[in-house]
């Protein structure tokens, strides 16, 4: 699954009035969008996420400011710097994720393939490794 993590560049339309990025579910991202949430006002020292999801896929977009996203498995770890509002990070299901190093103006938008379901969260990394083996 971790090899499916990828950056997605969205089309940015620019004119004299500013810039616009439009994102359509199942067209620009690989799933229908069922849930949208965002993280803002997070301290630079905050670490969000720290879990994997059994069913949900995500696209993360820092629409303002910047943050870092670490994805990892038992054999792999990579950090993505999210600082462009036209770049999304696609995370398939069963990917461990940690979001951190938020700039003061960071607004991290998250598009999700599933409705919220607490039972699909794996919050312990060792449990994640056992489930992902």
Q: Enumerate the active-site residues.
A: 51
Q: Show the tokens assigned to 132.
A: 């992902």
Q: What angle do CA 37, 43, 45 make, to 5 degrees?
A: 115
At residue 131, φ and ψ (nearest 5 deg) are -70, -30
Beta strands in the chain (DSSP E): 6-9, 12-15, 18-21, 35-40, 47-53, 58-64, 67-72, 77-82, 87-91, 96-100, 107-112, 121-122
Quick one: which of 56, 37, 31 has its CA closest to 118?
Answer: 56
């Amino acid at each position: 699954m971790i090899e499916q993590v990828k950056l997605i560049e969205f089309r940015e339309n620019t004119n004299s009035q500013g810039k616009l990025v439009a994102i359509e579910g199942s067209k620009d991202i690989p799933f229908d969008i069922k849930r949208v949430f965002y993280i803002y006002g997070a301290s630079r020292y905050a670490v969000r996420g720290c879990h994997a999801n059994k069913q949900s896929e995500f696209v993360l977009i820092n629409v303002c400011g910047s943050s870092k996203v670490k994805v990892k498995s038992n054999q792999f770890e990579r950090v993505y710097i999210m600082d462009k509002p036209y770049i999304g990070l696609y995370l398939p299901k069963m990917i461990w994720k940690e979001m951190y190093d938020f700039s003061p103006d960071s607004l991290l938008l998250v598009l999700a393939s599933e409705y919220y379901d607490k039972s699909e969260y794996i919050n312990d990394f060792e449990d994640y490794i056992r489930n992902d083996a």
